[in-house]
Chains A and B, each alone.
Chain A
Amino acid sequence: MSLRKRAMAAALVGALPLLAACGSNTGERNPTEILSQTLQAAISGGPEVQPITTQQIATALGSTTEPIALVSLLDRTNQALVLRIESNGPYETFATSSRQSLTVRGGMITATRGLGGDLMSSEAEPLLALIQAGRGGTVPYVTRYLTGDDQTEVFRYTCSVRDAGTERVAGGVIDIQGRKLAVVCTGTGPSFENTFVIDRSGQILKATQYLGDFLGRVSIQMLRR
């Protein structure tokens, strides 16, 4: 799957008689608009990416008392600040200003929405328990994605957790030397290695996770709990 393929698909469909140029409508998006956005994105590789500055972080922290985190799409060097907008039991949902969200549990990403190729849900309780306890071991882990055909694809993994030393997590109001754990997972999907940095209480302050073939590696770092 590549940008070219996407552009080509758009061009193929665009060649068919469907373009709506203008009109009144309700809720339905104007295909011409969607098409031009898609083509622009395909040609330019997406909007210009600027790393988040400390000034932006300070402004964000000052504007709310809710938890805030920094999300990085590591394979695309793309960053955004996310704000906690909701919680449901142990799950917390953080969102960008443009309606993209990540759901975390204890700091571990368990789902995403609006990023494309989203992680729809996961079964991470045993893994989370090991990490929060700072212990090594082997546990099952399950991730679910939608396929191009809107079917749910389930990947079942066996993950081994091991100690990986320490790492400093500094950003926002947080600056601590945390314990780092590395997790190697193999199973029915592509193998990967995730890392988690926890504080003394076992809370994950920074998680670096593989979120499927489309999204690649994503990290979420807490700026304020």
Chain B
Amino acid sequence: MPARPSVIRGAKGSVARACLLGLFATGALVAMPHRAEAQSQTNYNLYGVPGLIDMPSAGVAPDSEIGTTISRFGNNTRTTLTFQITPRLSGSFRYSAIDNFDTVASVDGVYYDRSFDMRFQLLTEGLYRPSLVVGFQDFIGTGLYGGEYLVATKTVAPGLTVTGGLGWGRLASRNAFASTGTRPEELLGEGGLPTYDRWFRGDVAAFGGVSYSPNDRWTFKAEYSSDNYDQERRIGEFDGTSPWNFGLDYHFENGSQLSLYSAYGTEVGAQLTLVLNPRKAAVPGGLDPAPLPVDVRPRGSAADLGWTTDPTAVPSSKVALSEALEQEGLKLEGLDLTAQRATLRLKNNRYYAVSQAVGRAARAMTRNLPASVEEFVIVPTENGMALSAVTMRRSDLEALENEAATEMFARTRFTDGIAAVPPVEPGLYPDFTWSLSPYVALSVFDPDNPLRADGGLRLRGNLRLSPGIIVSGSVTKKLTGNLDSVEREDESSLPLVRTQYAEFSRQGDPAIEHLTLAAYGRPAKDFYSRLTVGYLEKMYAGASAELLWKPVNSRLALGAELNYVQLRDYDQLFGVQSMVTTDPVSGVQREIPNLNGHLSAYYDFGNGFHGQLDVGRYLAGDYGATITVDREFANGWKVGAYATVTDVPFEDFGEGSFDKGIRVSVPLGWALGTATKRVNSVSIKSLTRDGGARLDVDGRLYDQVRNSHRPEMAKTWGRFWR
């Protein structure tokens, strides 16, 4: 039976319509947000936490708000990042500099210090009840700013709040009225440990103040400070004469805050706080072009199997679908077409939300596949690995296009993609891509120069021999910068696995950042694998093998990684050097072991929090574990913290006692409103030491795999119809 024209009706129809659309050169609808959203008016203080001027208040920022504050008064400069981790819990990281403060740790009279704070809201504000917050200031580390407080704030009239609190430690250095035990002075370990031995011990003093906001723009504040700046008076040049501080805040429409202060009778201060919230995007839902709608089959057409005997029908459907997917930034890498079922091997280069990619692919399938095909199976891939098989009925797509996205989710099945995935179309590989881009490399918190940077150009190339076998390289050429001026030399009691970074930075220009051959695979159901060999990262060459177990519907994954490494030459070209390193201070020689590796467990708690535990042997041969907790958002934002404790004694690790840091991932699509898979990750760790260090190899499996699995797809499913 000859095929009727109607069987590829969808394809023809869409081409005709696309042509018609081209005639409508009448422009686009430009929608820009037109209304100032009611912004939170969190008042941040000089410490970058909710507060009055120098004192904290019991104000709490909206959930997930990130406030970045730069403040200065007198000789004190403080840069603080505060994240509202949960509606009641917040954490802050601060980097401060005190001028004219001469200690052994000071550089040119400037004392640099890192500090962490935690705040927890014990009581929310009620009709008569004030908000009550307990805070731990500078609770890890050397404790210059160390202090604890209990503070209450109550709005007593519209715009008028009253705050009163009790402070310990630094916050009890003026007019203490009582005492709760003795506050120890010695440092625990090498610093960097929670100062639990001091909490709520020693003198107690009272502080408080009022703030008045006649409108959402202005706030007037006055406070009585219980901080006498004892150390700053003794060592530095602080000469405050009054406990009273006065301030004025201005809030911009976007929530940012600019403040001016009169502090301690003798100083003036200023502060700028920028706020953003991962849950508020520039353009909610994004500005991506509209998808082509579902093309509903005419009644009765599904019974028409004429096309199955037409040898041109399958190739022409494939071409039409491939072109339609191309329009969406998607790629058809394979298609199995039978009378009732189509299985698409899909490569997604554009959408962070895999559900959006799958939704667009499904609609393109309704427009380009013969009417008898009722079951759509879409297999998203990453580096050639079939990540899942998302199975839908075409009739459901037709019926539910205008319903809540949850309706479609309820009718969508997720299974392992390993058995379903169609073979790759011939002619797609090998495939070469390249890019030339600027780069910036930063080094922060070195007391000699708190912010160092290199800038230059980075040339990358990727040769895909097959979907899962990739030769990848990256070369940088520095144009300007001062990273090579790092001169600090600290004694280490470990082989120098990371602390030679300055030497690598000095000599590596141009540098091959990595040059590797990587093979990704699916050894069995629920299992994913990676093998990478070559110049793995800036400092190490060798081989890295990884195996991940992650069932498609599971929130738990387990992984194992084993690495064989060899130290690269400082010039980061072709060559390796001896694994024996010499300590710059003691002259002791130690050898870096070749083998390191980890067992990892990943768990998505399902309430926005994600945990990861890595246990194993680190680069320096130390054994231990890293625990990481992230607050994750469906749009790709992540804010997390990690800590690594190994069998290296704190005194051998050096300053900081153990490795810890925070990390933030910002999806570019969130900021720009246009779909892209790019995510910028910044990790801030206080110090680079040799203990607890891991190999920095590209292409670790977990993040590639999980985005196409059911738990992640469920979170972003609202984007299926976007």
Contact = CB atoms under 8 A, between A and B. Distances in A.
Interface of A: 1-6, 8-10, 12-13, 16-29, 31, 34-35, 38, 41, 45-47, 49-50, 52, 56, 60, 63-64, 66, 71, 73, 75-76, 78-83, 85-89, 91, 93, 95-101, 103, 105, 110-111, 113-118, 120-121, 144-152, 154, 213-216
Interface in B399-421: 401-406
Contacts of B329: 27-29
Contacts of A154: 404
Contact of B37 (A4, A56, A213): A213
Nearest to B325: A27
Given A101-B290, A116-B283, A3 B33 contact: yes
Contact of A99 (B289, B296, B676): B289
A170 B358 CA distance: 42
A80 B27 contact: yes
Contacts of B716: 150
B399 to A, nearest CB: 8
A154 to B, nearest CB: 8
B279 A147 contact: yes
A10 to B, nearest CB: 6
Given A28-B350, A144-B404, A145-B285, A20 B279 contact: no
A149 B20 contact: no
Given A27-B349, A113-B722, A146-B718, A21 B438 contact: yes
A71 B261 CA distance: 51
Nearest to B400: A121
Nearest to A144: B404
Contact of A9 (B276, B398, B434): B276
A10 B291 contact: no
Interface of B: 17, 20-37, 252-255, 274, 276-296, 326, 329-331, 347-350, 353, 398, 401-406, 432-441, 460, 633-635, 637, 666, 668, 670-678, 680, 682, 715-716, 718-719, 721-722
A33 B274 CA distance: 26
B34 A97 contact: no
Nearest to A7: B282
Contacts of A18: 668, 678, 680
Given A13-B671, A21-B438, A26-B433, A85 B293 contact: yes
Given A26-B349, A80-B26, A116-B287, A149 B278 contact: yes
Nearest to B454: A17
B599 to A, nearest CB: 32
B282 A78 contact: no
Interface-central residue, A86, A149, A154, by most chain B CB under 10 Å: A149
Contacts of B680: 13, 16, 18
B435 A97 contact: no
Contact of B20 (A6, A63, A113): A63
Contacts of B34: 75-76, 214, 216
9 contacts: A80-B28, A95-B290, A97-B23, A97-B26, A101-B293, A117-B284, A146-B285, A147-B281, A148-B281
B222 to A, nearest CB: 30
A80 B21 CA distance: 13
B47 to A, nearest CB: 22
B133 to A, nearest CB: 26
A16 B348 CA distance: 24
A146 B37 CA distance: 16
Given A60-B26, A73-B31, A144-B404, A1 B37 contact: yes
B435 A34 contact: no
Given A78-B31, A96-B27, A152-B405, A9 B438 contact: no
Contacts of B403: 121
B283 A214 contact: yes
B293 A86 contact: yes
Interface-central residue, A17, A21, A97, by most chain B CB under 10 Å: A17
Interface-central residue, A1, A10, A52, A105, by most chain B CB under 10 Å: A1
Given A76-B31, A120-B722, A38 B673 contact: yes
A121 B721 contact: yes
A10 B283 CA distance: 12
A24 B434 contact: yes
Nearest to A38: B672
Given A1-B280, A86-B294, 12 more contacts: A1-B37, A10-B282, A18-B680, A29-B676, A85-B20, A87-B296, A91-B401, A96-B26, A97-B28, A115-B29, A121-B402, A148-B280
Contacts of B347: 27
Contact of A49 (B30, B666, B671, B673): B30
Contact of A28 (B277, B291, B671, B676): B676
A58 B521 CA distance: 58
A191 B721 CA distance: 26
A63 B25 CA distance: 12
A2 B668 CA distance: 18
A21 B35 CA distance: 34
Contacts of B330: 27
Interface-central residue, A2, A8, A144, by most chain B CB under 10 Å: A2
Contacts of B252: 4
A144 B21 CA distance: 28
Contacts of B291: 113
